[in-house]
Amino acid sequence: MRISGGRARGIELQVPRGDAVRPATDGMRQSVFSSLGARVVGARFVDLFAGSGAYGLEAFSRGASGGTFVERSAKASACLRRNMGAVCQSLGASGAELHAVEADALSLPTGAGAPPDLVFVDPPYDAIPEVAPVLFSKLSAALAPDWAGLVVFEMPGETSLAPAGWTCVKRLGRGARQPSVAFFARAKAV
């Protein structure tokens, strides 16, 4: 698995062996970032259930100003930190723009300062029915009603989510048992 675009394109990302981490595929990340386009440049992000950090590091490679990675597993966090170092070295960046937090993603640590522009969510697929309602509820409480960012949520193609207060504005991939990504924005008040 490698960074698929931006200035750190080609940097190999480590994934913990024997762990339950299911990294986002290169093809899916390419589709996601093609859809996001210029929105990534200068953006702040949060990468929840970060695993290897593939989504956040891809964003950083493509011009995001920085962000926070949240991963509960110590084994995955160690790989994430190595991946952060490799990408930062490739970009000539100090790494001060990136923060890794070893915590449960549902505790929603979003980093200091302004709210993120992009929230990447890539939970274990079997946990989505339990995790998604809690996560969207916490995001609704943490982010202003006029928040203009996006939640980028990876899930199996056969899964559909309709969280209260959120609108799915785009969906990539829909094949059964295939990765799919939904882009959610805050629903506009009527």
| pLDDT at residue 18 greater than cutoff 70 | no
User: Quick check: 84 pLDDT over 60?
Assistant: yes
* Diameter of the chain measured on Cα atoms: 49
CA angle 33-175-188, nearest 5°? 55
* pLDDT tens-digit readout, 111-160: 567 899 999 999 999 999 999 999 999 999 988 888 999 999 999 989 99
Share of the chain above pLDDT 90, in %: 69
The structure's pTM equals 0.93
pLDDT at residue number 111:
58
With a cut of 70, say whether residue 21 has pLDDT above it: no
- For residues 166 and 182, give the distance between their C-alpha atoms in angstroms, rounded to a whole number: 11
Strand partners, 186: 166
SS3 call for 120: strand
Domains in the chain, ordered, with CATH? Answer: 26-186 (3.40.50.150)
Buried b (16+ CB within 10 A) or exposed e, 166-187: beeeeebbeeeeebbbbbbebe
Q: Cα(100)–Cα(77) distance, rounded to whole angstroms?
A: 8
Q: Is the pLDDT of residue 169 over 70?
A: yes
Residue 89: strand, helix, or coil? helix
Higher pLDDT, 7 or 110: 7
